[in-house]
C-alpha cells in the first residue's frame, strides 16, 4: 500500500507471465456482461494478504475473494484454484525483481562496487516491504510442487543472469573466474537466505546483515578468482 522508493506494484498485471488464460479474443470487442474484476485485481488482493505472518500457500480461496470483494465462486472465473494464482504471482514477482536488480547492476557497472549496489538494491526492496520479495524469499520451501517449482525456476533465472554478468565482468577486468555457474548460484542462494533472515528481524538489524552479506559475496568472488589463478585444493 505504501508507495516507497522503487515501488513496483504498478507492474502487477503488466508482465506476461506465460501462465495466461485463453486469449481474450480481441476480434470481437465484447459480448455478455462486463467483468467487474480482473485476474490482476485478484492477484493484488492476494498479495495484500501475505505478510510476515501469512504465507501465500496458507491463503484460502474465500479469504482472497473476500479481500477482493467478490463472491467465493467468482474466483473460479479467473483461476482454477489458489495454486494457479500463486504460481502466476511468483512469476510476476520474479520478473519484476529481476528487472529491478538488473537495473541496479547495470547502473552500477561504471560506478561503485557491483556487489554492494546489487545487494543494496535487493535489501531496499526488502525495506520497502514489497510483498513480492516475501513470495520469493519465504515460500520456496513449502506449498505445492507447482508452487515450489515456480520459485525454483525464478531463482534459476536470477542465477543465469548473474552468471553472464560475472563472466562479462571477469573478461572486462581481466580477473579470472573459476566455475562461474557455481559462483552465481552460491551468491544467489546466499542473498535469498540472508534476505529471508532479515525479513524476520527489526530494521535496525538490516545494516549489519547487509554488511555481512557483502563480505560473504566478496569472499566468494576472491575465492573464485584465486582458484582460477591457482587450481590447487585446500581446506
Selected binder of DNA within 5, 18, 23, 29 (CB under 7 A): 29
CA-to-CA distance for 120 and 20, rounded, in angstroms? 33
161's grid cell: 543472469
The site partner of 34 among a second copy, DNA, none (C-beta below 5 to 8 Å per kind) is: DNA
| 154 Cβ neighbours under 8 A, 6+ residues apart | 90, 91, 93, 94, 97, 98, 136
Q: Taking CB under 8 A as the rule, does residue 180 contact a second copy?
A: no
| 166 Cβ neighbours under 8 A, 6+ residues apart | 177, 180, 183, 184
Q: Least Å distance between CB 84 and DNA?
A: 10
Q: How many residues bind a second copy (CB under 8 A)?
A: 50
Binders of DNA among residues 60 to 89 (CB under 7 A) are 60-63, 69-74, 77-78, 81-82
| 208 Cβ neighbours under 8 A, 6+ residues apart | none
Q: Least Å distance between CB 88 and a second copy?
A: 20
* Cα dihedral: 180, 176, 210, 129 (round 10): -40
The site partner of 37 among DNA, a second copy, none (C-beta below 5 to 8 Å per kind) is: DNA
Rounded to 5°, the CA angle 198-115-158 comes to 75
**14 or 21, CB closer to DNA?**
21
Residues near a second copy (CB under 8 A): 53, 55, 57-58, 113-116, 137-142, 144-145, 148-149, 152, 175, 178-179, 182-183, 185-186, 189-190, 192-194, 196-197, 200, 212, 215-216, 218-227, 233-235
Amino acid at each position: 500500500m505504501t508507495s516507497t522508493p522503487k515501488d513496483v506494484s504498478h507492474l502487477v498485471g503488466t508482465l506476461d507471465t506465460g501462465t495466461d488464460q485463453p486469449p481474450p479474443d480481441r476480434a470481437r470487442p465484447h459480448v455478455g456482461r462486463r467483468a467487474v474484476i480482473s485476474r490482476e485485481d485478484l492477484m493484488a488482493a492476494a498479495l495484500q494478504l501475505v505478510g510476515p505472518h501469512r504465507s501465500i500457500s496458507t491463503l484460502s480461496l474465500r479469504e482472497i475473494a473476500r479481500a477482493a470483494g467478490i463472491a467465493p465462486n467468482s474466483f473460479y472465473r479467473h483461476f482454477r484454484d489458489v495454486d494457479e494464482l500463486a504460481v502466476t504471482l511468483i512469476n510476476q514477482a520474479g520478473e519484476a525483481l529481476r528487472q529491478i536488480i538488473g537495473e541496479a547492476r547495470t547502473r552500477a557497472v561504471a560506478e561503485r562496487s557491483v556487489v554492494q549496489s546489487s545487494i543494496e538494491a535487493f535489501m531496499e526492496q526488502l525495506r520497502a516491504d514489497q510483498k513480492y520479495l516475501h513470495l520469493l524469499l519465504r515460500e520456496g520451501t513449502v506449498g505445492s510442487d507447482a508452487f515450489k517449482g515456480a520459485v525454483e525456476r525464478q531463482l534459476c533465472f536470477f542465477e543465469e543472469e548473474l552468471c553472464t554478468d560475472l563472466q562479462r565482468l571477469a573478461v572486462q577486468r581481466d580477473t579470472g573466474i573459476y566455475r562461474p555457474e557455481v559462483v552465481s548460484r552460491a551468491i544467489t542462494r546466499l542473498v535469498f537466505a540472508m534476505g529471508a533472515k532479515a525479513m524476520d528481524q527489526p530494521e535496525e538489524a538490516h545494516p549489519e546483515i547487509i554488511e555481512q552479506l557483502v563480505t560473504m559475496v566478496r569472499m566468494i568472488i576472491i575465492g573464485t578468482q584465486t582458484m582460477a589463478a591457482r587450481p590447487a585444493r585446500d581446506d
